[in-house]
Structure 1
Amino acid sequence: MELNSIAASAPPTEYLAAHVVADDAEMFGVAQDKDVRKSLRVGRVPMPEIAPDEVLVAVMASSINYNTVWSATFEPVSTFEFLRRFGKQGGYAARHDLPYHVLGSDASGVVVRVGDGVRHWKPGDHVVVSCVQVDDQQPATHADGMLGADQRIWGFETNFGGLAHYAVVRASQLLVKPAHLTWEEAASAPLCASTAYRMLVSDKGARVKQGDVVLIWGATGGLGANAVQLVKNGGGIPVGVVGSEAKAEVARKLGCDVVINRAEIGLTTPRDGQHAIEMGKVLGRAIRREVGEDPHIAFDYIGRATFGISVFVVRKGGTVVTCGSSTGYQHEFDNRYLWMNLKRIIGSHAANLQEQWECNRLFQLGHVVPVLSAVYPLEDVGEAARLVQNNEHVGKVGVLCLAPEAGLGVTDPDLRARIGEDRLNLLRVTP
Structure 2
Amino acid sequence: MPMTRRRLALGLSMRYLGYHAAGWRHPRANAAGTTSFAHYRTVAQEAEAAGFDLVFLADGMAVRARDEPEGALAQSSQIADFEPLTLLSALAAVTSRIGLVATASTTYNQPYSLARQYASLDLLSDGRAGWNVVTSWSDAEARNFGLEATPDYGARYRRAEEFVDVVTGLWDSWDEGALLHDKENARFLDAAKLHVLNHQGDEFRVRGPLSVPGSPQRRPVIVQAGASEAGMNLAARTADLVYTVPQSKDASIAFRKDLRERAASFGRDPDTIRVLPGIVPFTGATDQDARAGYDELNSLIPDELGRQYLYNQMGDLSGFPLDGPVPPPPAGAAVGSIAKNLYEMAQREGLTLRQMVHVAAAGYGARVIVGAGHSIAEEMLDWFHSDAADGFNICAPLLPVAISDFSRHIMPVLEKSDILTDRAIPALRARLGLPDIKSRYS
Same fold (TM over 0.5): no
Relative contact order: is structure 1 or structure 2 higher (C-alpha 8 Å, sep ≥ 6)?
2
TM-score, normalising length: structure 2: 0.28
